[in-house]
Structure 1
Amino acid sequence: MSDFQNVALQLAEAQHSPDWLQSLRERGALSWSSARWPTRKTELWKNTPLQPLQSDMPSRWAAATGTDWQQDIEQIDIDATRLVFVNGQFMAELSSDLPAEIVRFADADVAQRQVIEQKLGTVVDAERHLFAALSNAWVADGILVQVPRNRSLDKPIYVLNVSTPEAEPAVSNQRVLMVLEDGSQAELIEHYVSADSKQNGFVNSLTEVIVGQNAQVQHYRINLEQEDLLHVGGVHVNLHRDARFHGFTLAQGSRLKRIDYQVNHRGEGAHLELHGVYLPRNKQLIDYHTNVEHCVPHCTTNEVFRGIIGDSAKAVFNGRIHIHPQAQKTLAELSNKNLLTSPNAEIYTKPELEIYADDVRCAHGATISQLNETSLFYLQSRGVERAEAISMLSFGFINELLTQVPEQAIQDYLRPRLTTLFGQGSELLGQLDYE
């Protein structure tokens, strides 16, 4: 085992958790301790070194702080059921009164505990996803969202996860279990954020979503933490017959940022719509790995990711769609487009189609490019300054995905921040000379 694996097990042993979660924790600890630590030769991690975890090894659990962070962090302005976590600790005084459909693991009654025990850890494959095993070993609290049959939640669920620096590097573990029964609907917003001050934490976050027959989920995952924060996260989804999952994710990079999406089509007629944007700069790294399993016939997937990589940043995108032999009449499309705005920027993109059925319609593609010189010249000839022209074209590269975000409050939150980001010229757009 690596040094970090040993430290992580020590943290798990030192953590207090309910007895009824002990079985899952033990299974997670066993998977974590028996797993090989990823190296450059490990296919799923070959472009994403885990050295930051080894060099700045966290040795304690993060603690909740006061409310000073509110001066530096702007929340999404939305009428929603709000749950606030600071360094993984629930802040009841800053959160909404929770409806019956939402409960913390710590407050679950007998019936809710049974749901958590039966469902938690069943969507994610801890053997394939190393840090999901760690999440299981660390689980002590979390959120259960259970929407009854043919019901819709009155408001979106807004989970705000705030990270603040501490005297020593520390860890936090964040867990969400969402169970939608047949015919139900819900909207979940997960917002990971920190102040601009230098961070020294590690966040391990895992969301599991079970979408029943003819149920529908609108899910958002926004990662806008300061670049020194280490973050590994995952969204794992099971789609049953005629279920719908619409996802949007946007993230800036950090010294280590890895986000996995695992979606399993379990019932015929299920549909996945997944859009993503990543924006690393400086010397940041961001890695998106998506894996869609078409296990049954008549399911559809539309996946679109776009990245803008500047300065000396590095991005990794690995998108895999696996069509099983019995998954006839599948319709699946995957697109990944990347814009390099610096000669030192890097992108490793690998779209994959693995097809074992013969009656399917599937397509995938990836592009890597610089800004179009003709378009730049056109804007400059109309009096637009060069730096502003580059910013305009860069923003336009991802604006198509932003305009498709159904929740207007999220559009309103992101647009001014991205406009500011693109306006920083040399920081995001690098020093690339198009002349």
Structure 2
Amino acid sequence: MAGLPNSSNALQQWHHLFEAQGGQRTAEATQHLQQLLRLGLPTRKHEDWKYTPLDALLNGHFVADEGASLSAEQRDALALPLDAWRLVFIDGRYHPELSDDLAASGVEVSVDNQRQHLPDALHPEVFLHLTESLAQTVTRLRVPRNRRLDKPLLLMHITRGLAGDALNTAHYRHHLALESGAEATVVEHYLSFNEQPHFTGGRLTMTVADNARLQHIKLAFENAHSYHFAHNDLLLGRDARPSAAVSCSAAWCCVTTPARVWAAKTATCVLTRWRCR
């Protein structure tokens, strides 16, 4: 790690977590890791982080614990009281046995490690590169042309804290495509299984085609000892109508949502960042 800008023990630990993935690593994830190491960690000299101390997080002992599962009863006890099509993720991994069968939902779903043809980041920075490099799978969600979902799509993310000083680290990568005229409500729900600290990274890219409507709700209801970084990019077509709402309860939460119009004069482009605590 010699010669890296703003080199730290955190960078070394993240590099080790990446190397531990072995054959699962992709060329795209490797490129993001290289960007992460090239940029180094932000300091208070960086304008975006001037009033945001990261010392407590960066002094953590980062691990990736992936051995857990839950019973259906435990899942239901944690779930929102919402009639929705549900996909369940635990500690960074998709759990189909706890998820709904979406065959009748109108949503096409695939979960694999293929990174090709994902949109480029609109606002790349160090924690985006971290999530892109450490997320072990990509969840692709497609709502076909003129399809209207009869109930929301719920992405339920459960992360566990660990005993001792280990900081469980989980990263989630999703891509949503609404084709022309499609309509959907998507709820990202992040929560903690217990009261121990953990570190969550989330990245959701959304393409909303011509005349499509998307309501995106992000609920980061994790415990008061956790850390949450997320990047939600919006790519908008002509007359696309997206809306977004965010609520956080983690000890430290940063959500960045840039938007870009690719072929329109009638869609709106907004860059918003939410920071809590």
After TM superposition, the score normalised by the length of structure 1 is: 0.56
Task: Kindly indicate whether residue 169 of structure 2 is the aligned counterpart of residue 171 of structure 1.
Answer: yes
Q: CA deviation at 1:17?
A: 6.1
Unaligned runs of 5+ in 2: 1-6
Partners of 1:156 and 1:52 in 2: CA distance = 36
Of 51, 56, 61, the match for 2:60: 56
Q: Deviations over 1:204-242 (max 9, x none)?
A: 111111111111111000111111111111211111211
Q: How does 1:177-196 map to 2 (within 5 A)?
A: 177-195=175-193
Give the aligned CA root-mean-square deviation in angstroms.
2.6
**C-alpha contact 1:231 1:257 (8 A) present in aligned 2:** yes
Q: Secondary structure at the match of 2:53?
A: coil
**Separation of aligned partners in 2, 1:65 and 1:158:** 19
Segments of structure 1 that go 5 or more residues without pairing to the other structure are 275-288, 292-304, 306-313, 317-435
**2:92 matches 1:88:** yes
Partner of 1:46: 50
For 1:25 and 1:160, the matched residues in 2 are separated by 24
* Corresponding position of 2:3: none
Query: Tell me, what secondary structure is at the counterpart of 1:199?
Result: coil
Is the alpha carbon distance of 1:205 and 1:56 closer, same or farther for their aligned partners in structure 2, counting shifts above 3 Å?
same
Residue pair 2:72, 2:98 contacting (<8 A) in 1 also = no
Q: Point out the structure with max Rg over C-alpha.
A: 1
Matches of 1:226 and 1:160 in 2, distance apart?
Answer: 15
Asked if residue 138 in structure 1 is aligned to residue 144 in structure 2, the reply is no
CA distance in 2, matches of 1:95, 1:231: 23
Alignment correspondent of 1:14: 20
- One-letter code aligned to 2:107: E
List aligned pairs for 1:227-306, cutoff 5 A. 227-254=224-251, 256-266=252-262, 267-271=264-268, 290=272
Alignment correspondent of 2:199: 202
Amino acid aligned to 1:206: R
Q: CA-to-partner distance for each residue in 1:29-52, whole Å, 9 max, x for gaps?
A: 111110031111111111111112
Number of matched pairs: 266
State the structure with bigger RCO (CA 8 A, min sep 6), 1 or 2: 2
Query: Between the two proteins, what is the percent identity of the paired residues?
Result: 26
CA shift digits 1:216-269 (9 cap, x unpaired)? 111000111111111111211111211111111111240x22111112233210
Runs of 4+ more than 6 Å apart: none
| Cα distance change on mapping 1:60 and 1:86 into 2, 3 Å | closer
Q: CA deviation at 1:189?
A: 0.4
Q: Aligned ranges for residues 69-80 of structure 1 at < 5 Å?
A: 70=74, 73-80=77-84
Residue 153 (str. 1) matches residue 159 (str. 2): no
The DSSP-based 3-state class of the residue aligned with 1:105 is strand
Q: 1:264-319 CA deviation, whole Å, 9 max, x = no partner? A: 233210136x8xxxxxxxxxxxxxx826xxxxxxxxxxxxx8xxxxxxxx957xxx
Deviation at 1:141, TM superposition (A): 0.9
2:10 — aligned with what?
4
CA distance in structure 1 between the partners assigned to 2:56 and 2:224 by the alignment = 12
Task: Specify whether residues 52 and 37 from structure 1 end up closer, same or farther in structure 2 by C-alpha distance, changes over 3 A only.
Answer: same
Contact persistence 1:260–1:290 (CA under 8 A): yes
- Measured after TM superposition, the shift of residue 150 of structure 1 is 2.1
